[in-house]
Amino acid sequence: MNPSEHHDPGQLHEEIARLKREKNALIMAHYYQRDEIQEIADFIGDSLALARQAALTDADIIVMCGVHFMGETAKILCPDKKVLVPDTAAGCSLADSCDPEEFRAFVEAHPDHTVISYVNTSATVKALTDIVVTSGNARRIIESLPADEKIIFGPDRNLGDYINRVSGRNMTLWNGACHVHDRFSLEKIMELKRANPEAKILVHPECRRPLQLIADKVGSTAALLDFARTDEAPAYIVVTESGILFEMRKKCPEKKFIAAPADDAECQCNECDYMKLNTLEKVYRALRDETPEIIVDEETAEKARRPIERMLELSL
């Protein structure tokens, strides 16, 4: 099929299914991906579930519909597989807020500290890390360490602040943030709550402390989804990237989900523009041409694999 011809999603679905069979490929998607991608994915999950699933799959090709660091994590865990990300320009402002050389200096300035990094980092930063965590397991892993262990945590200051607050730790934090989660407006969310008093507030820990404090539940995307599925409220204000609403509405069709607004009414600030770079058409082309492929140099991959595997062991 000529890529310029096909605007028919049905035809694209068929072609993707055929290529997947022929090439023994697996399509994985983060909850923040466009609905059209979540619809065709073999596996949808949060960062933790994607890393776990990548480590388990026997597919020859993984098409990681997410952002670059998710493709890198899959490649580090599966060096013999081909890992494709439909658009490698899909970066992450949080990962970008942690320059590897500056992080190296931060680590060197704290020689007696355990280095814990959020999965939203480059492979080079992971290679400088003792344990990688995601928002789905960070609290549990950190609380499993001795109470007096000195820890540096990067790059998300809001997630780090959340863990310090709920676990009574005093981790030294890197000053990074995600441009989507850091911008949600407390004022607008309070207005929404006044208009929808029956709605519970679900907040991702990458959001700032005032939002965490008004939340009925703070958690990773998968934890928020799980809460909505098992809780009894009829409505929820969802304070994270709005892509998660697709799966929430699918899992709980009888409930109302309201996407929280960010601080700027002019933009779709509750959407991650990096995540939305991937399209169905790009998934098709990636599968067809087996590019763009994620490559991580073996020395970096070797060093980065250990803290990711440690995370997987600690979150069994």
Residue 274 binds ligand SF4 (CB under 6 A): yes
What x-and-dash track marks residues 248-287 binding ligand 13P by CB under 6 A? ----------------------------------------
From 159-167, 177-185, 220-228, 298-306, span contacting ligand SF4 (CB under 6 A): 177-185
Among 12, 16, 27, 47, binds ligand 13P (CB under 6 A): 47
Q: Which is nearer to ligand 13P, 16 or 223 (CB)?
A: 223
Q: Which is nearer to ligand SF4, 31 or 106 (CB)?
A: 31
Q: How far is Cα of residue 86 from the mean position of the Cα atoms in its chain?
A: 16
Residue 135 binds ligand 13P (CB under 6 A): yes
- The tokens of 270 are what? 């509750």
For every residue of the chain, DSSP letters joined together read: --TTT---HHHHHHHHHHHHHHHTEEEEEETTS-HHHHHH-SEEE-HHHHHHHHHH---SEEEEES-HHHHHHHHHH-TTSEEE-S-TT---HHHHTS-HHHHHHHHHT-TTSEEEEESSS-HHHHTT-SEEE-TTTHHHHHHTS-TT--EEEESBHHHHHHHHHHH----EE--B--TTGGGB-HHHHHHHHHH-TTEEEEE-TTS-HHHHHH-SEE--HHHHHHHHHHS--SEEEEES-TTHHHHHHHH-TTSEEEEPPBS-TTS-TTS-TTGGG--HHHHHHHHHHT-SBP---HHHHHHHHHHHHHHHHHT-
The count of chain residues that interact with ligand 13P, using the rule CB under 6 A, is 10
Interaction partner, residue 278 (ligand 13P, ligand SF4, none; CB < 5-8 Å by kind): none
- Return the residues of window 108-127 that contact ligand SF4 according to CB under 6 A: 120
**Minimum CB separation from ligand SF4 for residue 70, in Å?**
8
Among 12, 178, 215, 259, binds ligand SF4 (CB under 6 A): 178
From 7-15, 129-137, 228-236, 278-286, span contacting ligand 13P (CB under 6 A): 129-137
Interaction partner, residue 274 (ligand SF4, ligand 13P, none; CB < 5-8 Å by kind): ligand SF4
Residue 221 binds ligand SF4 (CB under 6 A): no
Interaction partner, residue 220 (ligand SF4, ligand 13P, none; CB < 5-8 Å by kind): ligand 13P
Q: Which of 202, 284, 226, 186 is nearest to 48 (CA)?
A: 226
Distance between CA 48 and CA 53 in Å, rounded? 9
Q: Which is nearer to ligand 13P, 182 or 284 (CB)?
A: 182
Residue 97 binds ligand 13P (CB under 6 A): no
Interface with ligand SF4 (CB under 6 A): 32, 67, 92-94, 120, 178-181, 241, 272, 274-275
Interface with ligand 13P (CB under 6 A): 46-47, 120, 134-136, 178, 206, 220-221
